[in-house]
Amino acid sequence: MKVSDYIVEFLIEKGVTDLFGYPGGMVTHLMDSLGKKKEYIKTHINYHEQASAFAACGYAQATGRTGVAFATSGPGATNLITGIGHAYYDSVPAVFITGQVNTFESKGRSGIRQMGFQETDIVSMVQPITKWAAYVDCAEDIPGIMRKAFDIAESGRKGPVLIDIPMDIFRSNIDVDTLSLTEKKLIPHEMKAVEEFKKTIDLLLSQSQRPCILIGNGIKLDAQVEQIREMLRGCPIPVVSSIMAVDVIPEYEGLEGIYYGFIGAYGNRSANFTVAKCDLLICLGTRLDVRQVGARRSSFAPNATIVRVDIDEYELSNRIRDDEYQFKILLSDAIPVMGEILHKGRSYEQWINVCKEIKSKVKYIDEHEPNKYLNEISKITSDEYHITADVGQNMIWTAQSFKLKPRQRLFFSGGMGSMGYSLPAAIGIHYATNRPIICINGDGGLQMNIQELMLVAREKLPIKIFVINNNSLGMIRHFQKMYFESRFYYTTETEGYNTPDFCGIAEAYGIKSHYIDCIEDIRDIEFDNGPELYNICLKGVTEVSPKLEFGKPNQDQEPLLDRELYNYLMEL
């Protein structure tokens, strides 16, 4: 069998239904093999390789199945790197296949910079941001390498793998019948017993007066969202989340009133106060990075015993407390245990009343015009839609104010924090789920991968693109206001940054467009079945609040609360 044919057969066998890529000389054999099997596996051609990477990530984030993207050598391969970084930091299972120059024209270990045209050592470049990266120099190794790639991407803390395949390897023939087609499954790291976790949590909850659960992205990746909701249904203690997990707990069917928002520098005040005042914090699948805990770790949950559950031992090595409890177990194993313990009939009514009082006092302090737009968009969006948001102020406004319905999911670029994520991710998520998508963007981020409007138009995808347009790089402008005496270099129209006519661009691609300049325009929207772009023109200077000033405790965000109110909440 020809190697490129084998790769396609293998992807079909693994249940890959869609993959993403961009044509190039070194992947023409793979493209030809994909074309011969297009009734079994759909290949979606993007207009930039970075978009292919993000689309593959969106496919994986929406389904839990491994996403696949391909690109040619040189610039094709290097253009994947930002999406590979996203997959690595957000634990997204993905396999990236890159073409490479023929083995006989490779520079190998010689000292010259390049021998073959577009030859680039992509494996060395991506090793720090992949779980595994391999260069294939023997065709007979392909079956074992493909299986190993998927095993690694899908095991433990999930993430990306890259396979770099020379053109002459793609076109080689292998005798599949004589090769070992099974790769030994990876042996998982030894894990602490679930029983030890159960005993510890049960004991700590029996001693606690003010417990709190913090859920993160890891718990979404290792378990079904409905499993998590079942665990929390009727939960007697408050729950907060990282920004990546804001879509886990909608307000419905026994989940009302238990969720107090997402924590961190841009988090909800109610969530940050809840963590500041709890005496037990159970962290499930969240990294507790600086954006979550603040610059001074001692200020984070200062009165609490901290319990951390994570699959990644390296994340656990980044301790918040010297005496914190740590459990390296699968989150899917922790969920039924937590559910059993949480429903033992314990009551923390006094503590819940404190959290409700805090939430009521700070609820409307940080609601601004953009928040109202996002809230209105959520009202007109049916349960069928999934939502993507880009990086920047639009991401925070979406997390704060888009009221999710039970079947909706919300997708971000978290650790990598990459502008240009939302549109290509929306494409991948649509193909993975066959659902329509609300695609939220800032005016800066949309321009990073605006060329993907061509794919959306070409395939008539039901993606509704909203541009939250403040004619600036708003988050950086806010940073400049706080720390650089409002010198807005390169972030505003007068200082070197401009935005185009988004409606005109959409129309040029063949996408229906709408100009929005008031909330009432949103209320009048009636979605059709095709792609549409809505350019929401915000008035005046827009800022995200609350926002934490560096070095302060999470609950003391800008703009500062009245000190009398702050002290009252801290004394509750």
User: What are all long-range contacts of 345-354, with beta carbons under 8 Å and residues at least 24 apart?
Assistant: 346/205, 346/206, 346/236, 347/236, 348/208, 348/209, 348/210, 348/211, 348/236, 348/237, 350/209, 351/209, 351/210, 351/211, 351/237, 351/238, 352/236, 352/237, 352/238, 354/210, 354/277, 354/572
**Which residues have a Cβ under 8 Å from the Cβ of 349 and sit 6 or more positions away?**
none
Looking at residue 253, what is its pLDDT?
Answer: 64
For 369-537, the fitting CATH number among 3.40.50.1100, 1.10.1740.10, 3.40.50.970, 3.40.50.300 is 3.40.50.970
- pLDDT tens-digit series, residues 380-420: 999 999 999 999 999 999 999 999 998 999 999 999 999 99
C-alpha triplet 282, 262, 367: angle, nearest 5°? 155
Q: Half-sphere exposure of residue 273, counting CA atoms within 13 Å on the CB side? A: 29
β-bridge mates for residue 516, sequence order: 536
Structure tokens at 262: 């997402």
Place of tokens 């347009």: 469
Structure tokens at 114: 């390049």
Q: Which of 284, 177, 220 is nearest to 62 (CA)?
A: 220
| Superfamily covering domain 194-362 | TPP-binding domain (3.40.50.1220)
Coil, helix or strand at residue 320 = coil
Looking at residue 112, what is its pLDDT?
Answer: 86
β-bridge mates for residue 307, sequence order: 282, 325
Structure tokens at 101: 């120059």
Looking at residue 189, what is its pLDDT?
Answer: 45
Q: Which of 304, 260, 307 is nearest to 285 (CA)?
A: 307
Do 78 and 72 contact (CB within 8 A), yes or no? no
**Which residues have a Cβ under 8 Å from the Cβ of 194 and sit 6 or more positions away?**
329, 333, 334, 337
Helices 369-380 and 393-401: angle between axes, nearest 10 degrees: 60
Question: Looking at domain 3-178, does it have CATH number 3.40.50.970?
Answer: yes
Q: What is the pLDDT along the chain (572 residues), one digit of tens a residue?
A: 999 999 999 999 999 999 999 999 999 999 999 999 999 999 999 999 999 999 999 999 999 999 999 999 999 999 999 999 999 999 999 999 999 998 888 888 888 888 778 889 999 999 999 999 999 999 999 999 999 999 999 998 999 999 999 999 999 999 887 665 545 454 444 455 788 999 999 999 999 999 999 999 988 776 678 888 888 888 899 999 999 999 998 776 677 789 999 999 999 999 999 999 999 999 999 989 898 998 888 899 999 999 999 988 899 999 999 999 999 888 888 899 999 999 888 899 999 999 999 999 998 898 899 999 999 999 999 999 999 999 999 999 999 999 999 899 999 999 999 999 999 999 999 999 999 999 999 999 999 999 999 999 999 999 999 999 999 999 999 999 989 999 999 999 889 999 999 999 999 999 999 999 999 999 999 999 999 999 999 988 999 999 998 889 999 999 999 999 999 999 99
Q: What is the dihedral of CA 203, 207, 208, 212, to 10 degrees?
A: 0
**Which residues have a Cβ under 8 Å from the Cβ of 420 and sit 6 or more positions away?**
50, 51, 54, 82, 390, 445, 446, 448, 449
The residue type of 464 is K
User: Same CATH fold, 369-537 and 194-362?
Assistant: yes
Residue spans of the domains in the chain: they are: 3-178, 194-362, 369-537
Please tell me the distance from the alpha carbon of residue 63 to that of residue 94, in angstroms, as a whole number: 12
Strands 211-215 and 160-166: unpaired
Structure tokens at 437: 């998508």
What are the two backbone dihedrals, phi and then psi, of residue 463, each rounded to the nearest 5 degrees?
A: -110, 120
Please tell me the distance from the alpha carbon of residue 156 to that of residue 429, in angstroms, as a whole number: 23
Peptide bond into 546 cis (omega under 30): yes
**Which residues have a Cβ under 8 Å from the Cβ of 71 and sit 6 or more positions away?**
21, 22, 24, 27, 49, 52, 77, 79, 80, 96, 97, 98, 99
Tell me how far apart the 2 most distant CA atoms of the chain are, in Å: 78
Place of tokens 């790639």: 149
- pLDDT tens-digit series, residues 45-76: 999 999 999 999 999 999 999 999 999 999 99
What are the two backbone dihedrals, phi and then psi, of residue 466, each rounded to the nearest 5 degrees?
A: -110, 125
Looking at residue 117, what is its pLDDT?
Answer: 86
pTM of the model: 0.94
Q: Which of 263, 265, 241, 68 is nearest to 153 (CA)?
A: 68
